[in-house]
Amino acid sequence: MGDYVNRLMAQLVAKNPGEPEFHQAVQEVAESVELALARNPRYVDAKVFERTIEPERVVMFRVPWVDDRGDVQINRGFRVEMSSAIGPYKGGLRFHPTVYLGLLKFLAFEQVFKNALTTLPMGAGKGGADFDPKGKSEGEVMRFCQSFMTELQRHIGQFTDVPAGDIGVGGREIGYLFGQYKRIRNEFTGVLTGKGLNWGGSLIRPEATGYGAAYFAEEMLKTREETLEDKTCLVSGSGNVAQYTVEKLLDLGAKPVTLSDSGGFIHDKDGIDREKLAYVMDLKNVRRGRIMEYAEKYPGVDWTAVDPAKHYNPLWALPADCAFPSATQNEINGEDATNLLAGGVYVVSEGANMPTVPAGIEAFLDARILYGPGKAANAGGVAVSGLEMAQNSARRAWSRGTVDERLRTIMQAIHGTCRRTAEEYGVAGNYMHGANIAGFTKVAGAMLDQGVV
Ligand code: NDP
């Protein structure tokens, strides 16, 4: 079986050229899955993993819209429907200038295993566009969303494919997308998650990914009979995931000290408290400003601008106990990982998808720290999306307490599954192998049952 990963990767790269993030994501999972294949020849004979890396369907489309000056703009939209083995395709939409097919294939692929881990019946997909909502007016964002949904609506549906938010797609965008879907299809169904509370959304959905990442860290710490109380925490990003990670860290008695955006990061040695977090939420979600303004508002806060000449991020070189990367993929490189370890970090709970490069993961695993990979640690978001779908189907709305309790239980279950699976496969303490193998075996079992489709 030793050559299996090499052969598979050579074929994958030849067939999907110029998609490094997709290659990276598959390689990581393939190395784990090799352990499962060795124990179950049926997976090998039925080419289960080879099928998992080929999307069931990819839709790519033109998104024309008119900006405020009356000029025509053209973006490219996508939906990657990766796997429907255990449920309807499910996964977010990303609006960011860096979006291209390979990026969405990596995200859709990660989603396969993450969704399987949630214990809920959800397949996997991901979509988006190379549209940058930054600096656009409300009217421009709305017209773009309407044009995007005019095509996407043909391919999605409550029983087929249920998108949600991701980078650049929050409550505002989901509202415009849902409005257009309803208008064209003349039906009010749970076709998107992350909806507003008074039109089918679930309490705790906006909070879910960040809360879940903090719960996952809490569970990992419990294995060493520790808690998050008084732990100094580095958080990157300042969007949806970062904001609610900070909120839950405060609930659990920790001390978050950093936030960032694509311009740089703030370091608040006194800690980001609830009042400062409320300021950040207003700054980012309402005024749509830059995190640098935090340092202008609060004295004693350090601001560090991004320096493209540096090959490491000084945020990850600050002394701390825990790190919650919550911005984007590959934001922790090998040097950053070394700096984190040198600074005392021994808990990494990934809110973002694939934020750590392979060399960084290797450094964490070698150091035997508590490393929670994104597909486990950030699964709370899609889990509560699943709960939103359940509430929509039942035409009911659960209380905040009920949803938060279920989220916590799901995160505990995911943690337990990863831990047990790692032990079972002789790699105790390795949550990465645990998450990949547990997610894979669930999907593989369903694929075997359903025949060659
Ligand atoms: P948001 O758009 O709300 O926030 C993203 C944050 O990350 C912003 O602060 C943004 O800064 C920063 N960022 C994005 N891209 C880059 C980049 N290339 N370089 C530096 N900074 C960047 O997105 P979310 O919080 O929803 O998503 C963050 C991460 O979490 C992503 O990896 C996403 O896939 C993952 N995730 C999200 C889930 C969700 O429920 N929302 C669920 C599971 C995972 P700026 O504004 O300057 O671009």
Position 2 scores a pLDDT of: 66
Q: Does 228 have pLDDT greater than 60?
A: yes
391 lies in a domain? Answer: no
Share of the chain above pLDDT 90, in %: 99
Question: Could you give the number of structural domains in the chain?
Answer: 2
Alpha-carbon distance of 345 to 348, in angstroms, equals 8
pLDDT tier, 3 (very low <50, low <70, confident <90, very high otherwise):
confident
Is residue 15 part of the annotated active site? The answer reads no
Identify the domain boundary among 372, 404, 431. Answer: 372
Per this entry, what is the length of the chain?
453
* pLDDT tens digits along 265-303: 999 999 999 999 999 999 999 999 999 999 999 999 999
Alpha-carbon distance of 47 to 158, in angstroms, equals 30
Q: Is 111 in the pocket of ligand 1 (CB under 6 A)?
A: no
Alpha-carbon distance of 379 to 357, in angstroms, equals 19
126 lies in a domain? Answer: yes
**For position 223, which CATH number holds?**
3.40.50.720
Query: Which of 94, 111, 241 most suits a substitution to test ligand 1, by most atoms within 8 Å of the C-beta?
Result: 241
Query: Which of 80, 96, 132, 166 most suits a substitution to test ligand 1, by most atoms within 8 Å of the C-beta?
Result: 166
- The residues pairing with 157 across neighbouring beta strands, listed in sequence order, are 161
201 lies in a domain? Answer: no
Q: What is the mean pLDDT of residues 331-356?
A: 98
Task: Tell me the residue range of the domain where 292 lies.
Answer: 208-372
Q: What is the mean pLDDT of residues 359-385?
A: 98
404 lies in a domain? Answer: no
Closest atom of ligand 1 to 208 CA is 40
* pLDDT tens digits along 38-50: 999 999 999 999 9
Q: What is the mean pLDDT of residues 257-268?
A: 98
Position 121 scores a pLDDT of: 96
Q: Is 350 in the pocket of ligand 1 (CB under 6 A)?
A: no
Q: What are phi and psi of 356, to 5 degrees?
A: -110, 130
* pLDDT tens digits along 64-98: 999 999 999 999 999 999 999 999 999 999 999 99
Check 126, 248, 255, 284 and give the catalytic one: 126
Q: Does 1 have pLDDT greater than 70?
A: no
Q: What residue type is 440 in one-letter code?
A: F
203 lies in a domain? Answer: no
Q: What is the mean pLDDT of residues 125-150?
A: 97
Q: What is the mean pLDDT of residues 57-68?
A: 98
pTM check: above 0.85:
yes
424 lies in a domain? Answer: no
